[in-house]
Structure 1
Amino acid sequence: MGKLGFKGILKRKSGKVKDQKVVDVKKDRKKSEKKKGEVPIKDERVLVKKGYARKGDLIATVHPAVLGKEGKNILGEPIPPKEVYQPKLIAGKNVKVEDGTKYFLTTDGIVEVLKDSRGVFYIKGKIYRHGSYKITVSDDEMKAYLTVIPPIGGGRSLNADEIIEDCKKRGIVFGLKEKLIRETVAKAEENREAIRDVVIAEGEEPIDGEDGKLEFKIRLATGNRFKVLNNGKVDFKEQDLITAVEEDELIAVVKKPRSGQRDGHTVLGEKIEAKPGQQVTLEAGKNIRVEDKGDEIHFYAEISGQLIRERNSISIDPLYVIDSDVGAKTGNIGFKGAVLVKGNVNDGFKVQAMGNITIQGNVGKAIVQSKENVIVNNGFAGKHNGLIYAGKDVTIKFAENGTIKAGGNIFISRAALNCKLIAGDRVISVKEKGQIIGGMVKARRGLEAKIIGNELEHKMDIFIGLDYLTEEKLTEIKGKIAKYVQNLKKVELVIGKIKKINENSGMLSESLKKIYTDARKKKALLKIAIDNLKKKEEKCLQSLSQEEGAEIIVHESIYPGVKIYFGDKLYEIDSKKNNVKIVFDTNNQKVRVMPL
């Protein structure tokens, strides 16, 4: 016999299901045709089962009947099998049938089973759902979320007060948004739509302290051994290996850490302590001055030199030592302290320093510049392009075909050949051979040497009695003034032309207006620059007075071919003279040659 089983249907809490009669009038077109004048048959259906089920639940199973087999009695007569009950279950709304025997509900709701007078069963689902909610807390316990699903088909409504109370029971006590909970419940029921993952409570992040910070206020060397030029070429002479600083320069600032400003809380009310800022340590080494400014610590250079960084400390070395030649390996040297080169300075390279420069080898067609003193233990072969400049004194063994300038004295122990020597004080060559041959000498207070010129009567010009470095500077200033004046005239010409266009047409295009504005600005800047240069020119002129007492001292010999200028007074050596002093007698306005 077939069976009909109902599963997964929960009885209603109200108790026993009362029988209900349901009348359904239908036309059965497949089994019978309605005869003319026949009255429709009333098919009464009775509710036999009712309860709740969830979407996807198996709510009924049909077990088909198994037909019996024909038997026989002792006389051999056939005995037909008994008729079996073949159950019939018809799926209605919201019910899905699989394999013809299994019935599943396609929505949450109420399942109703009815039976008609013919013994046929009908099963259907009605959408019916109580309102529900879900509360979740994030893993870090900093947020609580609420999902609300409104009731359907007359199910039980949600209660915002119950949800709020449930939150508190779960320990959600910090940052709970009760008003938002009420609004969310009301909105879900009004719109009959679920609202998911609404943030109903938020914790408070702590405000941690700020870590201390180290800020260098100077440009630090990159360590690059080359410089990429604007045209894309690489210049290996310009290397960035030294971090140079000046006396009293602010090198670095350490900002002190700050303590935590506010503790935080999770939605469960647990305190999150604010973290204090971490300390940054910078130790002051040699030649570093430290000043505490309250929230900051300032580090200053006590001397000019090279900044040395070792782990968490800084110091300043006043001497930069190059153990090799200055060349392709080192690149050009620029330093704000003193420099010691243990090798040579090769052709085409530069050594520039604020402090003393000492070169233990030779200097080629290079540039060596110091605001203090320059000492070259060997020689200088300038090849007509090399330059040695010192703000104070230059001391060198020998020099040829180069230019040496010094704000103070130039000391040459052995010889100088075809050089341009310009000294703010004196040129002195009295040690070893002590000979100066050819070229040009300019010295404010004079020249002292063992030998000046040679027997071949090598041509040589000597200028004494004026500040020739200032004279050079004055020449440079005059050149700049002339250039700026020329540019000013060009700018004024442009301004004049645009004014004339405006007078004739009564209007200017936007491009001409811009040109006019830019020209006026340039004119103002040029005038300022010219005024400043003229002030410098006047200052230089005031220091160009004739130096009284300028002299040339010859400890051995001076030869013909040498011309001596005392200001604008010329004296030519016409014959070899030994052990003499040559001076300008201002009283008689003539040159005097006196024995030593």
Structure 2
Amino acid sequence: MTTSGSLENSITIGLSQDKMAAYLQFHTRDDEFSCTLEQLEALIKLRGVLFGIDQELLQKIAENPKAYFQSQTKIAQGMLPRTGEDGSIKYVYNLHDKALRPQETEDGKVDFKEISQLKNVMRGQLIAEKVAAAEGQPGRLVTGEELPAKRGKEAYFKLGKNVVLNPEKTALYAAIDGMITLTDKSKINVFPIYEVNGDVDYKVGNIDFVGTVVVRGNVLNGFRIRASGDIRVIGGVEGAELTADGSVEVTGGILAANKGVVRAGKNVKSSFIQDGNVTASEDIIVTQSIMHSQVRAGRHVICNGAKGLIVGGTVQAGESVSARTVGNTMSTTTTIEVGVKPELRQELLELRQEIRTVSDNLEKTEKALVLLDQLAAAGQLTPDRLALRVKLTATKRQSAEELAVARERMLEIEKSLDRIDAAKVVVINTVYGGTKIMIGRNTRFVKDPTQRVVFHFAEGDIAMSAYY
């Protein structure tokens, strides 16, 4: 049996630099060496190891030490601290309701009846409550010292129009009767609704309204509707300009004759789009057809109703495009692009121009400061030049900050161009020749009609698999 003194000479207990692990190393190769579990535990405790000890492993070492002569063995593991759960905002209504997607019935038709349900509230009614962030779980080093944990990030209300906080800032209430709407950057608003009982024409004129607009007729060629909430048109939309921070719904379809534009901060829903220019930050949902149009959606373009036809023009979506039929027997050029949010490409171009401009201005500012610094060193800095020097110093600092923010954002966008694993184009019936499929930076031309297919990115190229 080994004595405690000889055990200390035969075994070294070492700690990792961060004290998150402890290791046992033998210095003997004596086949007669033996020790007990109690001796090992005493030695480990003597060396300051008090937490995370692998008792089962120690027992194995005591029973057969020779098996561990040739290696360093980890005998204790610390525990990292765990950050607490972040706070959140709990809404009375589900404002992020995924049920806004169309539901397909057994006969292949799409039911939009439940998509545009208004979230109505009365003045003083509770809209949302703040759920506080949770405390984290402390960690512990193998030496027993506690590692403090971070509390989760607190959630904050993003206040829009016609809402008020309670004094404790833990609950949000409606300031007027109206409809709850999430707009840009998830701001919470309560908007009243403006209704037009007929067409938007010369009798009504252009509409610019801080709420939701409902038109119980048509929007005629050349007119404009701007809404901070939603726009709902019971009739059709001609070559008009519709811009909503929320969603746009057109029951009678969009027949634009390559004039006007429809823009939505959330979704666009329409029976059809022909010769139109339509953009949505989230989804574009069409029951019948998209023909010869420029269509851009931040997430999905869904055109898989009973007809579900996409032909001509360009359809872009950040995540996916789904249709029953793409192209036609005449091989009309039709472009489908997924995997990159359309607005990000434009933002990337703008950022590159901004970086060039700010960099040029920063270079000019630095050259001017060098001259002023030289004058200051020579004692020739007049009061006017001193004021200019202070101003240029502040300008330099601001320009450097703007440049850093722009470069960081540009890097984020460039990285997103390669995140295309989930992007796909789904064709439920037939895709015809003349169709161009683009996923991220990759392109594939369809030469022959193909039925029931899904285009996706795999192994560095656009792959094609069967649709089930």
Return the TM-score normalized by structure 2.
0.53
* Post-superposition CA distance 1:251-278 (Å, at most 9, x none): xxxxxxxxxxxxxxxxxxxxxxxxxxxx
Alpha-carbon distance between aligned partners in 2 of 1:457 and 1:332, rounded to the nearest angstrom: 40
Deviation at residue 472 of structure 1 after TM alignment: 3.8
The answer to whether the Cα contact below 8 Å between 2:254 and 2:276 also exists between their aligned partners in 1 is yes
2:269 to 388, 395, 399: 395
2:421 alignment counterpart: 548
Change (3 A) 1:355 1:490: same
Deviation at residue 375 of structure 1 after TM alignment: 0.4
Alpha-carbon distance between aligned partners in 2 of 1:564 and 1:324, rounded to the nearest angstrom: 41
Give the fraction of aligned pairs with identical amino acids, expressed as a percent. 23
Deviation at residue 340 of structure 1 after TM alignment: 0.7
Alpha-carbon distance between aligned partners in 2 of 1:416 and 1:527, rounded to the nearest angstrom: 46
| Structure 1 residue identity aligned to 2:229 | G
1:567 to 440, 443, 451: 440
Change (3 A) 1:300 1:560: closer
Unaligned runs of at least 5 residues, structure 1: 1-246, 251-286, 294-298, 307-315
| Structure 2 residue identity aligned to 1:390 | A
Deviation at residue 399 of structure 1 after TM alignment: 2.1
| Structure 1 residue identity aligned to 2:466 | M
Deviation at residue 395 of structure 1 after TM alignment: 0.8
1:409 to 2:283 alignment: yes
The answer to whether the Cα contact below 8 Å between 2:296 and 2:316 also exists between their aligned partners in 1 is yes
| Structure 2 residue identity aligned to 1:565 | M
1:457 alignment counterpart: 331
* Post-superposition CA distance 1:402-447 (Å, at most 9, x none): 3222233211223222322222222122235322222212223322
* Post-superposition CA distance 1:99-142 (Å, at most 9, x none): xxxxxxxxxxxxxxxxxxxxxxxxxxxxxxxxxxxxxxxxxxxx
Alpha-carbon distance between aligned partners in 1 of 2:419 and 2:254, rounded to the nearest angstrom: 31
1:209 alignment counterpart: none
2:243 alignment counterpart: 369
Change (3 A) 1:422 1:514: same
Following superposition of structure 1 onto structure 2, how do residues 10-159 of structure 1 map, counting pairs within 5 Å?
none
Following superposition of structure 1 onto structure 2, how do residues 256-275 of structure 1 map, counting pairs within 5 Å?
none
1:437 alignment counterpart: 311
Deviation at residue 365 of structure 1 after TM alignment: 3.8
SS at 1:418 equivalent = strand
Alpha-carbon distance between aligned partners in 2 of 1:586 and 1:291, rounded to the nearest angstrom: 49
SS at 1:524 equivalent = helix
1:592 alignment counterpart: 464
1:230 alignment counterpart: none
The answer to whether the Cα contact below 8 Å between 1:305 and 1:320 also exists between their aligned partners in 2 is no
1:352 alignment counterpart: 226
2:355 alignment counterpart: 481
1:466 alignment counterpart: 340
The answer to whether the Cα contact below 8 Å between 2:293 and 2:312 also exists between their aligned partners in 1 is yes
| Higher RCO (Cα < 8 Å, 6 or more apart) | 2
1:339 to 2:225 alignment: no
Change (3 A) 1:478 1:335: farther
* Post-superposition CA distance 1:339-376 (Å, at most 9, x none): 21223334454323333210123334443232332101
Alpha-carbon distance between aligned partners in 1 of 2:335 and 2:275, rounded to the nearest angstrom: 15
Unaligned runs of at least 5 residues, structure 2: 1-120, 125-160, 168-172, 181-189
| Structure 2 residue identity aligned to 1:522 | T
Alpha-carbon distance between aligned partners in 2 of 1:495 and 1:553, rounded to the nearest angstrom: 58
Deviation at residue 394 of structure 1 after TM alignment: 0.9
Deviation at residue 389 of structure 1 after TM alignment: 2.3
1:533 to 2:409 alignment: no
| Structure 2 residue identity aligned to 1:454 | N
The answer to whether the Cα contact below 8 Å between 1:305 and 1:336 also exists between their aligned partners in 2 is no
Return the TM-score normalized by structure 1.
0.43
* Post-superposition CA distance 1:162-203 (Å, at most 9, x none): xxxxxxxxxxxxxxxxxxxxxxxxxxxxxxxxxxxxxxxxxx
The answer to whether the Cα contact below 8 Å between 2:210 and 2:227 also exists between their aligned partners in 1 is yes
Alpha-carbon distance between aligned partners in 1 of 2:269 and 2:291, rounded to the nearest angstrom: 16
The answer to whether the Cα contact below 8 Å between 1:446 and 1:465 also exists between their aligned partners in 2 is yes
Change (3 A) 1:433 1:492: same
1:422 to 2:257 alignment: no
How many matched pairs?
298
Alpha-carbon distance between aligned partners in 1 of 2:408 and 2:337, rounded to the nearest angstrom: 27
SS at 2:217 equivalent = coil
Alpha-carbon distance between aligned partners in 1 of 2:442 and 2:259, rounded to the nearest angstrom: 30
